[in-house]
Structure 1
Amino acid sequence: MGGVPGTAGNAPGGIKRAGAAVLIALLVVPMLSGWKVTGTKVREAYYPVSGRNHTEIVRSVRRFAPMSGRAYGLGIIDFHPDYDMRSKDGACRITRANTGLSITLKLPEWKGPKDAPRAAARLGRHFERVIKRHELQHVKIAERYARKMSSDLKKLKPEKNCWAMRRKAYTLIKSVKKQHINAQRAFDRRTLKQIRRLL
């Protein structure tokens, strides 16, 4: 984001990166909690981008963008792992696993005046498109790790009791979430220069 780092990651620590920020909440939904999130649910919210020239557009982004203008886009990603266990013949195993995602994206939206110069409108719309594409790639990364989490849970070897199985599942979930954060960071490192060149 113009060379100014955004802050993202696993609260309360966080990862620092330029461009769009992703907040990855390490949310483990307790079993038997009475509610489930299945599939991927994405909610989009927008902040206005306006101006008649480059300077005004930058000022608009700094005023309205997430994190007091320090991020061009923001994603809040919650994992919702859910699984069933069954004890039989002296062993407990996971019989079903599914990981849902709830994601909130904060994205720019060009709201420039109708008579804005063509160059300004083109810049504003390009900024909007690139940031949305960037954030949707973060969604795809999260979906990949949600599938991995479900698959890995189902592959866990049985334990002698379900308390031990639950502990093993919890450890696996934490590990996959850490891998997910690392993958998101790697994506941001690869795209940092492109994001910085936007404005």
Structure 2
Amino acid sequence: MMNPSLLCALMLSITAMPAGAASLVKTYSYFSVGGRTLDDIQNQLSKNGPEVKSTGSRHPGATQMAFTTRISYAQSAGSCRVADAAVTVKVKVILPEWRRPRKADPGVRLFWDTLSADIKRHEERHVEIAKNHARLLEDALKAIPPQKTCEQAKLNAAAVQAAELAMHDQDQVRFDRVESVNFESRILRLMRYRMERVEAGQLPPP
């Protein structure tokens, strides 16, 4: 008989396991932004920002991502099932880095601190959306019912993957659309909040 304390520990460890074990590999890269004024910074972002294929234009930040799926199958008499599925999403977050002049205006510094933090938050949310869908994809693949042949199981897996990645793309586009509508009001609100924290001594002066 298993030791009761050991059994309890095993049950706790199983309960603590996440629903999906999709893997995330994340790296960062930065592009330089120069300039002393707000117009300078805007021009630099438009000139040096990463070009996004879906829009054909340059953006102040971007996240490149790729999904990799590994599926194993188990065949028995008259059926074939998905034995295991593992999904890895590899992302590269591209962010701006301002070469801040020594005598940059405090208002410009405040704007940059606010903007750059918001750009990073935005791109990190793209990463979260991708990881969530990687986990959903992994769970959906594992839930495919047994098929008569492994060829049919592979076809079902391909259909599941295509459907889940399509939903992922839709969620990413929807997020960008919502963010673009609220951009100006959000930046102004964040600037006010950041200034309040500076005045309260919770943040260093810009």
For normalisation by structure 2, the TM-score amounts to 0.73
In structure 1, the partner of 2:38 is 54
Q: Distance in 2 between matches of 1:95 and 1:142?
A: 24
Q: Distance in 1 between matches of 2:153 and 2:23?
A: 24
Moved more, 54-63 or 96-105: 54-63
Pairwise CA distance, 1:103: 0.6
2:132 to 144, 153, 165: 144
* Bigger relative contact order, structure 1 or 2 (CA pairs below 8 A, ≥6 apart): 1
Counting only pairs closer than 5 Å after superposition, residues 2-151 of structure 1 correspond to structure 2 as 39-67=23-51, 70-151=58-139
What RMSD, in angstroms, separates the aligned Cα atoms of the two structures?
Answer: 1.8
Change (3 A) 1:51 1:171: same
- SS at the partner of 2:182? helix
In structure 2, the partner of 1:181 is 169
Pairwise CA distance, 1:193: 2.4
Deviations 1:42-68 (A, max 9, x none): 111111223221111112112211129
The alignment-based identity, stated in percent, is: 26
Change (3 A) 1:69 1:152: closer
| Aligned residues of 1:158 and 1:165 also touching (Cα < 8 A) | yes
Which amino acid in the other structure matches residue 81 of structure 2?
A: R
Change (3 A) 1:116 1:129: same
In structure 2, the partner of 1:167 is 155
Q: Distance in 1 between matches of 2:99 and 2:183?
A: 20
In structure 2, the partner of 1:193 is 181
Pairwise CA distance, 1:69: 6.3
- Report which of the two structures shows the higher radius of gyration computed on alpha carbons: 2
| Aligned residues of 1:50 and 1:124 also touching (Cα < 8 A) | no
In structure 2, the partner of 1:157 is 145
Change (3 A) 1:102 1:66: same
Q: Distance in 1 between matches of 2:179 and 2:74?
A: 44
Instruction: Specify which structure has the higher proportion of helix.
Output: 2
Corresponding residue pairs, total: 162
- SS at the partner of 1:77? strand
| Aligned residues of 1:110 and 1:125 also touching (Cα < 8 A) | no
- SS at the partner of 1:43? strand
Change (3 A) 1:98 1:92: same
Q: Distance in 1 between matches of 2:32 and 2:57?
A: 12
- SS at the partner of 1:180? helix
| Aligned residues of 1:82 and 1:98 also touching (Cα < 8 A) | yes
